Amino acid sequence: MEVHNGQNVRFWTDIWHPQGRLIEIAGEIGTLKLGVTRTALICDVRNETGWAFRRCRDGQMRELINLVETHRMEENTHLQDVVLWRKNETEFCKHFSTAKTWHRIRTHGPSKEWSKVIWFMFGVPRFAFITWLAIRNMLSTGERMRSWGQVQGCIFCGEPNETRDHLFFACPYTYTLWIEVVGTLLGRPPDPDWKNTLQHLITHGFGELEYILVRLVFQTTVYMIWRERNDRRHLKKPRQSNLLAKIIDKTVKNRITTTVYTKKPRLRV
């Protein structure tokens, strides 16, 4: 808090002093020792002559009083107090930034090499999210459900052990679908092995437009397979792989077409 008239800043609990919240320094007993209530505003404690503290011989309280009295503030009774947002370790700013706040509160770690396969411009958030879960092997496949006491095999081919790697794309149904939708975009024949496919998407030297398309096709296929799998488990009418391939193809085309006209004119299909 940037203090001016002190009418909106709490003396004990707001961060207006470089030392932080004063209540954390003095403790709850400090409110009694200094005669300042916990909810007091700065304007309640400070007047034209200075700070109005109760006389106190406590050494810790004397140190706190000294910290407060030596702290210089840009007081102006005609100006309202200002809320400041932390920009970095030493700076504050008057405008809130969601991005800066997120980067401050999140747990930082090294970038994963597969992150570019998930997060890219023109991607579809729900497709990216399901693909992110798949890459981290966090989807509730039969393999994971078994640890919860539920037994379920692959609903497409009857394989008893439904794993992430089986669904994408070792299962005959999903591999047939993958071959049909990806075509020659990979620059090599489609591989039923999940790890090989992902590694190829990470390391292969795709062109800019080609890489956007192949990632979008990959994410859309993963999403549609997972959705079809869940639909079948909820007894909805199953769709043949060629029909699902047409849906994926239309979804990708619609996304690219929308992107061309609304985001980047230089991207042409």
| Residue 163 lies inside a defined structural domain of this protein | yes
| Residue 198 lies inside a defined structural domain of this protein | yes
**Strand positions, DSSP E, the chain:** 46-47, 50-51, 85-86, 92-93
| Residue 4 lies inside a defined structural domain of this protein | no
Q: Among the three residues 62, 82, 105, which one is the final residue of a domain in this structure?
A: 105
The tokens of 80 are what?
């309202």
The tokens of 81 are what?
């107090």
Q: Among the three residues 44, 76, 105, which one is the final residue of a domain in this structure?
A: 105
Strands 85-86 and 50-51: unpaired
Q: Are residues 71 and 174 in the same domain?
A: no
Q: How far apart are CA 58 and CA 123, in angstroms?
A: 62
What is the separation of C-alpha 89 from the centre of its chain, rounded to a whole number of angstroms? 21
Domain count, the chain: 2
66-79, pLDDT tens digit by residue?
Answer: 999 998 887 777 88
Q: Are residues 179 and 78 in the same domain?
A: no
Q: Are residues 150 and 236 in the same domain?
A: yes
Q: Are residues 161 and 99 in the same domain?
A: no
Give the model's confidence band at 261: pLDDT under 50 very low, under 70 low, under 90 confident, else very high.
low
Question: Does the pLDDT value for residue 265 go beyond 60?
Answer: no
Can you say whether the dihedral through the CA atoms of 222, 228, 233, 239 is positive or negative?
Answer: negative
Q: Are residues 150 and 59 in the same domain?
A: no
Q: Are residues 163 and 98 in the same domain?
A: no
Q: Are residues 63 and 137 in the same domain?
A: no
Q: Please state, in angstroms and as integers, the Cα–Cα distance from residue 143 to each residue in 112, 133, 152, 226, following that order.
A: 24, 14, 8, 15
| Residue 10 lies inside a defined structural domain of this protein | no
Residue 82 gets which letter from DSSP? B
Q: Are residues 169 and 58 in the same domain?
A: no
What is the separation of C-alpha 151 from the centre of its chain, rounded to a whole number of angstroms? 32
Can you say whether the dihedral through the CA atoms of 54, 60, 63, 68 is positive or negative?
Answer: negative
Question: Does the pLDDT value for residue 148 go beyond 60?
Answer: yes
Q: Among the three residues 70, 105, 140, which one is the final residue of a domain in this structure?
A: 105
Q: Is 227 exposed, middle or buried (0-12, 13-18, 19+ CB in 10 A)?
A: middle
| Residue 14 lies inside a defined structural domain of this protein | no
Residue 233 neighbours by CB distance under 10 Å = 10
Higher pLDDT, 146 or 230: 230
80-126, pLDDT tens digit by residue?
Answer: 998 888 877 778 888 888 888 888 888 888 989 999 999 998 899 99
Give me the pLDDT at residue 268, please: 43
Question: Does the pLDDT value for residue 129 go beyond 90?
Answer: yes
Domain that holds residue 80: 22-105
Q: How far apart are CA 152 and CA 222, in angstroms?
A: 19
- Asked whether the bond before 169 is cis by omega within 30 degrees of 0, the reply is yes
Q: Are residues 99 and 201 in the same domain?
A: no
Q: Are residues 248 and 169 in the same domain?
A: yes
| Residue 268 lies inside a defined structural domain of this protein | no
| Residue 98 lies inside a defined structural domain of this protein | yes
* Most confident listed range (127-136, 143-152, 257-266): 127-136
At residue 259, what is the residue type?
A: T
| Residue 2 lies inside a defined structural domain of this protein | no
Q: Are residues 195 and 236 in the same domain?
A: yes
The CB-side HSE value for 241 (13 A sphere, CA atoms) comes to 14
Question: Does the pLDDT value for residue 16 go beyond 70?
Answer: yes
Q: Are residues 123 and 100 in the same domain?
A: no
DSSP states along 223-262: HHHHHHHHHHHTTPPP--HHHHHHHHHHHHHHHHHHHHHH
**Model pTM score:** 0.68
Give me the pLDDT at residue 263, please: 52
Q: Is 124 exposed, middle or buried (0-12, 13-18, 19+ CB in 10 A)?
A: middle
Give the model's confidence band at 266: pLDDT under 50 very low, under 70 low, under 90 confident, else very high.
very low
Taking a C-beta distance cutoff of 8 angstroms, is the pair 37, 54 a contact?
Answer: no
